[in-house]
């Protein structure tokens, strides 16, 4: 049972972080389908930070550096979306899809090159971080990690920024009616950049949380198994509102965790359900949930539409 | 003077602009890929990128070359189908990222019919089309009646299909390996007919699939451009409300589009797996890249069914080429890297085209102003205005 709680919280943290990222981007008016790729690159940044951390670094410093590295990597990578979608008015879905493919491919190529450069016989795309990972845990031997605390802080921060600051309200104005926002002197391009970059940072952070969940090495060929997309579903289910997103993430996290730990429950293990069903569960649940919640969707009105100053 | 008019009109043609933009994407993509190789290992970069571009030309012998050319074609055929699937939906304003999942259920249906039910190939092919169409229609239904964004529903269905098909095909897998039983030993009648192509390519995997794919591409072109159905579908994509106002059944059109799109992707899977070229691994935990590469091919082909034949071949050509890079230096995924770069750059195609159109306009304006000067000096003026157009 404790195991289920641990994994639920871990996956819920990932989903909350990434969905909040998507939330910032969409409130500014840019659809970020590329979260999956951003997660991979963020995970790569964090994993590299852990790998090259000199042994004996104090644990709080490791946590800080890994967090920063992941967020920064994700942010840099999200620039690809920002430039294409904001400056060049590219199709955001297409660019996002390309970023997902590119993220996994680039990370694989990079890690393999790094591994082979150190040892010619090593052609794997795996990074190990067994020792360093311990610094991220609150209680050794469990999966309770400091990222959960960070997630709560980010969640509160996101709520405050979006609803209680001038920046947040302006950001949301750009996603609802950019022409109106522009007419009162808000720089729509800059706001959209801010939205996408914040989503990059949060997506990257989500990536590192994901690859440290329950494992201490990651094969980058695997990507993040559709988690970026699950996060988008969480965001839609959460109606683009931070607190709702957190609740939705808990629900989805629970179903995702079940597929990891169901064999530990005698009741579930004895049922004649193939393991594939548990793997499918989070996706089936999200599809059903979306079927019943999309009708009264409160999506930002101008999302996905490139801002054109000439259109008033 | 006469010749110049023709060149201007030539550059102004949308088809030409698309072709140049696509070419630009390819060149830029390959160039960035080359830079990546240079950074990883400067010594082998030139050879590495050449390996990717050459693919089967890597072999010196003519006979071996043609064999591997055949195998590249075998894998390009399903890719053409996936890119047709993506472009068909896109023309109707839907982004079918679910081609991957529809491809998976197509593979599942065709292999199950072939291996468990011992059906002949044409039944297996139809089963694959039906399975893909059903999955596509489901996304269409959700979009039409429940307002579920098709991108999200498709992605969820992709993963659900993958696990479902793994379970289904687990019943027809070999005892000692995670792969499905081979068609040639279990059910020869399910293999696609070769139609003599195996003799030409000296390779038994080259089948009916290759000509069939070209026929389908032409059919899709005709449906989209020359029929009432295609017109209605595209009108619905352009403006759902206006289509409804004009008396079209917009929800039916949405669902039908996704069904056709899904059927195409499902058929693509059958055209690969019924050749016996590959067996399905029931333990795979990531989606086959075919559906996603289909997105690349569709956009690279300028969203034209005929263009997608060439772009699909190109994408498959470099993907197969990735297998020839020196594994002690580079990862085979360098081709995935390059093709995803190319998709990314395709996002800029619209911009390139605007840019080119602007260039043509600037040139015409210049010509209108400076008419009356000699032919020779005008040619000079033309090339300099070209540069100015570039700066504007």
From the list B149, B330, B344, the residue facing A98 with the nearest CB is B344
At B179 the three-state DSSP class reads strand
Query: pTM of the prediction?
Result: 0.85
Q: How many CB atoms neighbour CB B378 within 10 A?
A: 16
Closest listed residue to residue A249, CA positions, set A291, A210, A212, A223: A210
B97 and B299 Cβ atoms separated by less than 8 Å? no
DSSP one-letter code for A145: B
| pLDDT (0 to 100) of residue B330 | 82
Task: Give A77 to chain B, closest Cα distance, Å.
Answer: 13
Is the Cβ–Cβ distance between B48 and B329 less than 8 Å?
yes
pLDDT of residue B355: 80
Q: How many Å apart are CA B143 and CA B140, to the nearest integer?
A: 5
Residue of A nearest to B348 (CA): A90
DSSP-assigned states of every residue in B259-294: HHHHHHHHHHHHHHHTTTS---BTT--S--THHHHH
Q: How far apart are CA B203 and CA B199, in angstroms?
A: 7
Chain B residue with minimal CA distance to A234?
B152
What pLDDT does B391 receive? 35
In sequence order, which residues have a C-beta less than 8 Å from that of residue B361 and are 6 or more positions away? none
ipTM for this prediction? 0.86
Q: CB A94 to CB B341 under 8 A?
A: no
* pLDDT for position B256: 94
Partners of B86 on chain A (C-beta within 8 Å) are none
Crossing angle of the two packed helices A59-82 and A146-164, in degrees rounded to 10? 50
Which among B152, B167, B339 has CB closest to A236?
A: B152
- Is the Cβ pair B348, A221 closer than 8 Å? no
Q: For B197-201, B244-248, B310-314, which range has the lowest pLDDT when averaged over its residues?
A: B197-201
CA distances to A71, A226, B86 from A233, rounded to whole Å, are 22, 11, 22
Q: Which sequence spans correspond to the domains of chain A?
A: 12-229
Partner A, chain B 119-178, Cβ-Cβ below 8 Å: 142, 146-149, 151-153, 155-160, 163-164, 166-167
Whether A62 and A132 have beta carbons less than 8 Å apart is answered as yes
Separation between Cα atoms, residue A154 and residue A242, nearest integer Å: 10
- pLDDT band at B332; cut points 50, 70, 90: confident
Query: What are the extents of the domains in chain B?
Result: 41-347
* B381 band by pLDDT with thresholds 50, 70 and 90: very low
Question: Under an 8 A CB cutoff, do A294 and B146 touch?
Answer: yes
What is chain A's alpha carbon radius of gyration, rounded to the nearest angstrom? 20
Per-residue pLDDT of B8-52, as tens digits, reads: 567 777 778 888 888 888 898 899 989 988 888 888 888 888 888
Distance between CA atoms of A201 and A74, rounded to whole angstroms? 5
Residues of B in contact with A291 (CB under 8 A): 142, 146, 148
Of 1.10.3470, 1.10.10, 1.10.8, 3.40.1000, the CATH number of B41-347 is 1.10.3470
Helix A242-261 with A2-28: angle, nearest 10 deg: 140
Q: State the average pLDDT over residues B306-333.
A: 86
Q: Is B105 on the interface with A (CB under 8 A)?
A: no
Which residues of chain B neighbour A273 with C-beta distances below 8 Å? none
Q: What percent of chain A has pLDDT over 70?
A: 99
Instruction: Identify the sign of the CA torsion A95, A96, A102, A103.
Output: positive
Collapse the DSSP code of A137 into the 3-class scheme (helix H, G, I; strand E, B; otherwise coil) and give the result. strand
Q: Is B328 on the interface with A (CB under 8 A)?
A: yes
- Indicate the SS3 state at residue A218: strand
Task: Give residues with Cβ within 8 angstroms of B248, minimum separation 6.
Answer: B232, B235, B236
Asked if A253 and A231 touch (Cβ cutoff 8 Å), the reply is no
Query: Which run of H or of E encompasses A232?
Result: helix A227-237
**Average pLDDT rounded to a whole number, residues A296-309:** 79
The tally of CA atoms less than 13 A away on the side-chain side of residue B150 is 30
Out of B36, B97, B146, whose CB is closest to A109?
B36
Is B235's Cβ below 8 Å from some Cβ in A?
Answer: no
Q: Determine whether A311 is exposed, middle or buried from the number of CB atoms within 10 Å of its CB (0-12, 13-18, 19+).
A: exposed
pLDDT, position A93? 83
Q: What percent of chain A has pLDDT over 90?
A: 45
Interface mutation vs chain A, best among B156, B337, B351, most A CBs within 10 Å = B156
Question: B302 — alpha (psi -120 to 50), left (phi > 0) or beta?
Answer: left
Residue A21, classed as helix, strand or coil, is helix
Q: What share of chain B is helix, strand, coil (3-state, %, to 5)?
A: 80, 0, 20
Of A108, A232, A276, which is closest to B167 when you measure between CB atoms?
A276
Closest residue, chain B, to A101 (C-alpha): B340
- How many angstroms separate the first and last alpha carbons of chain A? 56
pLDDT digits (tens, 9 = 90+) for A57-67: 788 888 899 99
Q: How many CB atoms lie within 10 A of CB B194?
A: 17
In angstroms, what separates the C-alpha of A282 from chain B's closest C-alpha? 9
User: Would you state the pLDDT for residue B383?
Assistant: 40
pLDDT digits (tens, 9 = 90+) for B360-380: 888 878 877 766 544 444 444
Report CB contact under 8 Å: B151, A91: no
- Interchain proximity A104–B336, CB inside 8 Å: yes
pLDDT at B64: 84
B190-211 pLDDT, tens digit per residue, is 888 888 788 888 788 888 899 9
The secondary element (H helix, E strand) that includes residue A136 is none
How much is the mean pLDDT over chain B?
A: 85
Per CB-CB distance under 8 Å, the chain B contacts of A97 are 97, 292, 295, 343
Q: Which two tokens stand for residue B370?
A: 């400076």
Mean pLDDT, rounded, for A199-207: 96
Between helix A242-261 and helix A146-164 the angle, nearest 10°, is 160
Of A33, A106, A292, the CB nearest to B337: A106
Q: What is the mean pLDDT of residues A286-305?
A: 82
Nearest Cα residue to B209 out of B76, B298, B305: B76
Kindly determine whether residue A225 and residue B334, on different chains, have CB atoms separated by under 8 Å: no
């Amino acid at each position: 049972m404790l195991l289920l709680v641990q994994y639920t919280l871990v996956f819920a943290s990932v989903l909350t972080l990434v969905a909040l990222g998507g939330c910032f981007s969409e409130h500014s008016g840019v659809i970020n389908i590329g979260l999956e790729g951003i997660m991979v690159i963020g995970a790569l940044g964090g994993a590299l930070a852990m790998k090259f951390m000199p042994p004996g670094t104090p644990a709080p410093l490791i946590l800080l550096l890994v967090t920063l590295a992941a967020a920064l990597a994700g942010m840099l990578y999200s620039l690809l979306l920002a430039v294409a979608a904001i400056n060049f008015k590219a199709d955001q879905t297409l660019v996002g899809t390309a970023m997902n493919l590119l993220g996994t491919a680039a990370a694989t190529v990079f890690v393999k090159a790094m591994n082979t450069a150190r040892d010619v016989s090593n052609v794997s795309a795996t990074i190990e971080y067994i020792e360093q990972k311990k610094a991220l845990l609150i209680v050794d031997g469990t999966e309770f990690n400091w990222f959960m605390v960070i997630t709560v802080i980010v969640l509160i921060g996101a709520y405050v920024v979006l609803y209680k600051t001038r920046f947040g309200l302006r950001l949301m104005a750009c996603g609802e009616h950019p022409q109106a926002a522009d007419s009162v002197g808000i720089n729509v391009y800059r706001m959209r950049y801010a939205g996408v970059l914040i989503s990059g940072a949060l997506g990257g952070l989500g990536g590192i949380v994901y690859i440290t969940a329950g494992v201490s090495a990651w094969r980058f060929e695997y990507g993040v198994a559709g988690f970026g997309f699950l996060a988008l579903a969480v965001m839609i289910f959460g109606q683009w509102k931070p607190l709702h997103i957190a609740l939705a993430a808990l629900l989805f996290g629970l179903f995702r965790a079940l597929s990891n730990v169901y064999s530990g429950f005698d009741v579930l293990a004895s049922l004649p359900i193939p393991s594939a069903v548990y793997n499918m569960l989070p996706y089936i649940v999200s599809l059903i949930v979306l079927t019943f919640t999309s009708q009264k969707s409160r999506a930002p009105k101008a999302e996905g539409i490139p801002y054109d100053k000439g259109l008033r | 003077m006469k010749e110049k008019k023709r060149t201007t009109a030539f550059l102004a043609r949308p088809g030409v602009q698309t072709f140049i933009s696509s070419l630009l994407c390819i060149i830029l993509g390959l160039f960035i890929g080359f830079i990546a190789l240079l950074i990883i290992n400067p010594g082998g970069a030139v050879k590495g990128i050449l390996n990717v571009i050459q693919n089967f030309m890597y072999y010196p012998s003519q006979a071996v070359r043609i064999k591997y050319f055949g195998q590249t074609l075998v894998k390009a055929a399903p890719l053409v189908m996936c890119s047709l699937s993506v472009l068909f939906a896109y023309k109707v304003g839907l982004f079918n990222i679910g081609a991957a999942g529809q491809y998976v259920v197509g593979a599942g249906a065709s292999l199950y019919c072939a291996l468990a039910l011992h059906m002949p190939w044409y039944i297996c092919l139809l089963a694959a089309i039906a399975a893909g169409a059903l999955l596509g229609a489901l996304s269409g239904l959700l979009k039409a009646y429940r307002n579920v964004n098709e991108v999200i529903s498709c992605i969820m269905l992709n993963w659900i299909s993958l696990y479902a098909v793994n379970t289904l095909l687990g019943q027809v897998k070999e005892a000692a390996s995670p792969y499905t039983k081979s068609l040639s030993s279990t059910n020869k009648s399910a293999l696609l007919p070769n139609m003599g192509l195996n003799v030409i390519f000296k390779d038994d995997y080259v089948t009916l699939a290759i000509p069939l794919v070209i026929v389908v591409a032409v059919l899709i072109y005709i449906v989209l451009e020359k029929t009432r159905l295609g017109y209605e579908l595209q009108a619905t994509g352009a403006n759902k409300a206006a289509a409804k106002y004009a008396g079209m059944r917009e929800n039916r059109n949405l669902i039908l589009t996704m069904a056709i799109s899904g059927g195409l992707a499902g058929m693509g899977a059958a055209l690969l797996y019924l050749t016996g070229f590959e067996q399905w691994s029931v333990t795979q935990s990531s989606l086959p890249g075919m559906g996603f590469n289909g997105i690349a091919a569709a956009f690279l082909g300028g969203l034209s069914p005929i263009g997608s034949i060439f772009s699909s071949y190109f994408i498959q050509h470099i993907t197969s080429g990735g297998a020839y890079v020196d594994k002690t230096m580079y990862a085979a995924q360098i081709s995935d890297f390059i093709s995803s770069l190319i998709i990314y750059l395709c996002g800029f195609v619209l911009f390139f085209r605007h840019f080119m159109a602007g260039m043509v306009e600037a040139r015409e304006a210049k010509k209108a102003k400076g008419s009356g000067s000699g032919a020779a000096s005008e040619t000079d003026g033309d090339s300099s205005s070209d540069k100015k157009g570039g700066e504007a």
